[in-house]
Amino acid sequence: MEFTYHGMVRYAYGFANPNHAAALLAILLPLLWYSRIRWRKNRSIVFILFSCELIVYAGLIMTYSRSGILAVMFGTVIFYFLFRYCSKLPKLPVPSKSWRFNYFKLFVIFTISGLIILAMVSGAGERSIKWLSSPDRSVTNRFAVWQGGLQMLADNPTGVGLGNSGVIYTIFYQDSENRNRYRTMVNSFLTFINEYGIFYWSALSSLSGFIIIATILLMRYRKTPYRIKLQLITLFTVSVIMFIIGNSSTCFDLSVINEISSSDKGETLNACLQILLLSLPIIFLFWASIIILCHRHLFSWRKTTIITFAMILIMNISLIATGALMNEARPYKCQTVNDENSYMKLTKRSGGDRTVVGFADETIFPIESFVMWLKQRYPEANLLITMSQINTRFIGTKKFKDFHYIVACGQENMLMSDTIMKKTILLFPAQPPDSSRSFPSKVILNHNDYYGYNILWEKMLRPDRIEYLSLE
């Protein structure tokens, strides 16, 4: 898939999404900054690193990624001020004051000015600034998706399963006037917490939070060696960049691991690059962990643990409470039901008097349209919706005998048992079953009878058991 902006191609460099390429390039820049300072006395190495840095800047601009450019600018300022702050602490073997002033002033001015000039020349600057005055749908739609993500989290705190968050939002949480399809929550962290649940999220965020807080404490401690502080500043800057980019796109996508076995060369390249991108946070966490363990005597583990626990607890409560407040205006509570097949249970918040089961068939009726039709037909009922095309030979009498109605879309649902068939409404079925089978309680046929099946159903059922619906 090719991304463009006003006719200009947004380069993805092997990724499926240019924002993911921008994430990788932005994360590499603090490492180049660190390397230039670390080997500043070797002019040949500095020249090579500086040349690589220019290439990365140019590559970042050509992705036209607003979040990537913003993250690098913000990271530059963070890197500069942290270095200045740590250098002012007493008893540190730091470079001379004049070197610090000249080098870092030039570094910040060059980086930000260079990014602005390149962005304006290439057109990326217009895209980065214009959204503030007149935001396009790629910006405004994100807020709607994030709101739906918080609502989904409040309904499903244990997670909806890997790769399901975007589909569930598209069908059950998106406004009815929108017809966009989403694969994720357009936010790496919100996607992870919705798909894996609050418990896995708490474990991951606690580990990351502990390391980041310990990093800050070590940077502030005056006896921490200069070279260690420089590494910690780099790692903290990387974490800030990853936080900004991760919140604006799903660049850290775990579901892409399933695509590594794809036979398509382009998808395989994208999967490999995504795995590389996913491995970088793990590498940086490991790097920071080694530093923290080697200097564990320089900070209080108890203080760090208490701060981390308090922050994670407040964050999780805030996320769920916000989603719950947003859900107050929604008529249904949407929860996943995980058993032999995947279902979504839509429970009326006002209390439904009955439950209707819906078996969707995407080849005939889009599932979002199918769900909307069920809500309109049974406004006071709870709904149980299948999330995938299933083999209805599995449908037995015990699982669904207590439900009031079963609405089955498509021909494959003709395979259900006779007991279930008597309480079933068939939506857009194909040819009728043979005379030895039980007939459904009602059949809803398509007005546009392309294959002549309507005549066969009209011969076999009474008129009061047949309805017609136009499928547009």
Query: pLDDT digit string (tens) for 5-24?
Result: 556 677 888 888 888 899 99
The band of 58, judged by pLDDT with boundaries at 50, 70 and 90, is: confident
pLDDT at residue 351 in the model: 74
Query: In sequence order, which residues have a C-beta less than 8 Å from that of residue 461 and are 6 or more positions away?
Result: 439, 443
pLDDT at residue 25 in the model: 93
Inform me whether the pLDDT recorded for 92 exceeds 50. Answer: no
The band of 98, judged by pLDDT with boundaries at 50, 70 and 90, is: very low
Per-residue tokens: 130 = 């214009």
Residue 142 CA: distances (Å) to CA of 138, 224, 353, 426: 7, 42, 36, 37
The residue that leads in pLDDT, 89 or 435, is 435
Judged by average pLDDT, the poorest of 38-42, 281-285, 361-365, 437-441 is 437-441
Instruction: Look up tokens 């930000």; give the residue.
Output: 112
Which of 134-143, 197-206, 368-377, 379-388 reaches the highest mean pLDDT?
A: 197-206
- List the beta bridge partners of residue 427: 409, 444
CB 240 within 8 A of CB 354: no
Between CA 338 and CA 341 the distance in angstroms is 7
Q: Where are the domains of the chain?
A: 3-134+197-299, 332-469
Query: In sequence order, which residues have a C-beta less than 8 Å from that of residue 176 and are 6 or more positions away?
Result: 372
Number of Cβ within 10 Å of residue 332's Cβ equals: 21
Number of Cβ within 10 Å of residue 198's Cβ equals: 18
Q: What is the pLDDT of residues 387-414, one digit of tens each?
A: 665 444 444 444 555 677 788 777 655 5
Residue 117 CA: distances (Å) to CA of 63, 105, 125: 15, 18, 8
Mean pLDDT across the chain, nearest whole number? Answer: 78
Between CA 275 and CA 68 the distance in angstroms is 19
Pairing of strands 424-427, 8-10: unpaired
Sign of torsion over alpha carbons 432, 435, 437, 439: positive
The residue that leads in pLDDT, 204 or 177, is 204
| Burial (CB count <10 Å: 0-12, 13-18, 19+), residue 266 | exposed
- Rounded mean pLDDT of 433-461? 73
The residue that leads in pLDDT, 401 or 56, is 56
CATH code for residues 332-469: 3.40.50.1820
pLDDT at residue 90 in the model: 43
The residue that leads in pLDDT, 324 or 83, is 324
- Give percent above pLDDT 70 in the chain: 75
- List the beta bridge partners of residue 445: 468
